[in-house]
Chain A
Amino acid sequence: MASGCCLQTVGPRINESRIGKLGRLETVYDNPSSSSSSLAPRVGLFVTCLVDLFRPSVGFAAVKLLEDAGCIVEVPRAQTCCGQPAYNNGDRADAQRIARTVIEAFEHYDYVVVPSGSCAGTLKRHYPKLLAGDPDWAERASAMAEKVYELISFLTDIRGVSAVDASFDGAVTYHDSCTGLRELGVKDQPRRLLASVKGLTLKEMDDAEVCCGFGGTFSIKYPDISNAIVEKKTKHIAMSEADLVLAGDLGCLMNMAGKLKREGKTVAARHIAEVLAGMTDEPPIGAPAHKRG
Chain B
Amino acid sequence: MKPTSHAFKQNAAEALVDEQLQKALRNVDRGFVAKRAAAREKLPEFDRLRDEARDIKNHTLDYLDLYLEAYQNKVRETGGQVHWASTATDACEIIQNICMGAGAQSVAKGKSMISEEIGLNAYLETSGLKVIETDLGEYIIQLRGEHPSHIIAPAVHLAKEQVEADFRSKHKELPAGRRLDEPKQLVDEARQVLRKQFLAADVGITGANFLIAETGSSVIVTNEGNGDLTQTLARVHIVIASLEKIVPTLEDANTLIRLLARSATGQEISTYTTYSTGPKRPGDLDGPDEYHVVLLDNGRSELLGSEFRDMLRCIRCGACMNHCPVYNAIGGHAYGWVYPGPMGAVLTPSLIGVNEAGHLPNASTFCGRCEAVCPMHIPLPDMMRHWRDREFAQKSVPVLQRWALRIWAWAATRHRLYQFGTGLVMPMLAFLGGRSGAFRRLPLFGGWTKHRDLPAPQGRTFQQLWRKRRGRGGAS
Contact = CB atoms under 8 A, between A and B. Distances in A.
A13 to B, nearest CB: 12
A235 to B, nearest CB: 12
B413 A225 contact: no
Interface string A130-170: 00000000000000000000000000000000000000000
Contacts of A254: 454-455
A47 B462 contact: yes
Contacts of B366: 88, 178-179, 215-216, 218
A86 B405 contact: yes
B13 A91 contact: no
B405 A220 contact: no
Contacts, number: 237
Contacts of B13: 224
A225 B470 contact: no
Contacts of B461: 52-53, 56
A187 interface: no
A225 B326 contact: yes
A286 B456 contact: yes
Choose among B326, B365, B434 the residue with the greatest number of A CB atoms under 10 Å from its CB. B365
Nearest to A49: B412
Interface string A185-228: 00000000000000000000000011101111111111111111
Interface stretch (B110-118, B162-170, B198-206, B386-394): B386-394
B474 A8 contact: yes
A173 interface: no
Interface stretch (B279-287, B291-299, B444-452): B444-452
B453 A258 contact: yes
A23 interface: no
Interface stretch (B128-136, B217-225, B227-235, B435-443): B435-443
Interface in B181-220: none
A214 B438 CA distance: 17
Contacts of A9: 476
Contacts of B254: none
A223 B16 CA distance: 12
Contacts of A218: 363-366
Interface stretch (A34-42, A93-101, A239-247): A93-101
A277 to B, nearest CB: 15
A219 B364 CA distance: 10
A29 interface: no
Contact of B409 (A98, A209, A210, A215): A98
B100 interface: no
A6 interface: yes
Interface residues of A, number: 78
B465 A258 contact: no
Contacts of A226: 365, 451
Contact of A211 (B365, B382, B426, B447): B365
Nearest to B394: A90
B88 interface: no
B392 A91 contact: yes
Given A86-B409, A88-B388, A286 B455 contact: yes
Contact of A98 (B385, B413, B426, B473): B413
B405 A94 contact: yes
B470 A213 contact: no
A238 to B, nearest CB: 15
Given A10-B474, A221-B401, A229-B325, A286 B458 contact: no
Nearest to B13: A224
A80 interface: yes
Nearest to B9: A222
A211 B369 contact: yes
B404 to A, nearest CB: 9
A97 B391 CA distance: 19
Contacts of A213: 325, 365
A90 B397 contact: yes
Interface in A261-293: 261-262, 282-283, 285-289
A75 interface: yes
Interface string B347-389: 0000000000000001111111101100000000010010111
A175 to B, nearest CB: 12
Contacts of B463: 47, 52, 75, 77
A221 B325 contact: no
B180 interface: no
B473 A91 contact: no
A215 B384 CA distance: 13
B475 A282 contact: no
Contacts of B393: 90
Contacts of B12: 222, 224-225
B439 to A, nearest CB: 9
A91 B437 contact: no
Q: A6, A219, A225: which has the most chain B beta carbons within 10 Å?
A: A225
B119 interface: no
A225 B445 contact: no
Contact of A227 (B406, B435, B451, B470): B451
Given A53-B457, A219-B447, A288-B435, A259 B362 contact: no
A219 B448 contact: yes
B422 interface: yes
Given A77-B475, A90-B391, A182-B369, A222 B412 contact: no
A229 B369 CA distance: 14
B411 A80 contact: yes
A89 B401 contact: yes
B434 A288 contact: yes
B329 A228 contact: yes
Given A214-B365, A215-B367, A59 B453 contact: no
Contacts of B258: none
Nearest to A57: B458
A54 B455 contact: yes
A89 B365 contact: no
20 contacts: A52-B462, A54-B426, A54-B455, A59-B462, A80-B415, A80-B419, A89-B397, A90-B397, A129-B382, A211-B325, A215-B367, A224-B12, A224-B450, A225-B363, A226-B451, A230-B452, A258-B453, A261-B438, A286-B438, A288-B436
Given A55-B458, A221-B363, 14 more contacts: A10-B474, A56-B458, A85-B405, A88-B366, A90-B387, A90-B390, A90-B392, A98-B412, A98-B413, A182-B367, A215-B367, A220-B445, A230-B452, A288-B434
Nearest 4 pairs between A and B by C-beta? A215-B365, A90-B392, A94-B409, A90-B388
